[in-house]
Structure 1
């Protein structure tokens, strides 16, 4: 496998880990009687702070998948992974870092760190898009 495929698989796996954590947390709340009913708000605003952070971290990964996963899939499908391989692990590390910071804290410093990690991902994807345009246009 190449770095782009591993990075994409890692990203998808991380989304699944966060989804499992969210489902487990919500199941715990329901089974322990700390939350009545089975309906949870999609933004996590109706559960304790940890649940809200897990909800937002997982949703943020899904929201960013359209441009991160999309470009990686495009590179894989068009045999252009030479463009994405060099930064695929860095992008995945930044994605993990952003989620972990999101799970750990909502302080101003943590929010700024998350933003920097997002900018790393955004910058890498913009670079890839430019390189892909250059290749195909």
Structure 2
């Protein structure tokens, strides 16, 4: 299994894990507040601050999956994992850091650090994109 394979799988595990934690949190919240209806706003606005951040962390991971996961699966499907293997673990580490910061705080410093983690992921994805396109030019 290449680094690309492992990171692709771990990214999916992260999304599933966040979904399970969110479902558990919403169940707990519904029981603790004795909600009459189990309708939750998709953005997490009806929850506590932590519930909101947890909802956003899950959605943020899902929102970034098309370009990160898409490039990883492209590398796997075209047998070009050599393009992504070297930086795949860094992308995953930055993804986990971004998720952790988002769940921990929404202070200005946290938002700036989260953006840096996002830029690392985005920059690496642009680098990968050029790695895939270069042989076609």
Q: TM-score range by the shorter chain?
A: over 0.9
Partner residue in 2 for 1:100: 100
- The answer for the alignment partner of 1:126 in structure 2 is 126
In the TM superposition, residue 30 of structure 1 has moved relative to its aligned partner by: 1.2
Q: 1:99 to 1:12 in 2, by over 3 A?
A: same
Specify every segment of 5 or more residues in structure 1 that has no aligned partner in the other structure, as ranges. none
TM-score (norm 1): 0.97
Question: Structure 1: how far apart are the matches of 2:36 and 2:136?
Answer: 54
**How many Å separate the matches in 1 of 2:25 and 2:120?**
30
Runs of 4 or more, structure 1, over 4 Å off, are none
Instruction: Give the match for residue 109 of structure 2.
Output: 109
Aligned length: 137
- Asked if 1:61 corresponds to 2:61, the answer is yes
User: Alignment RMSD, CA only?
Assistant: 0.9
User: Normalising to structure 2: TM-score of the pair?
Assistant: 0.97
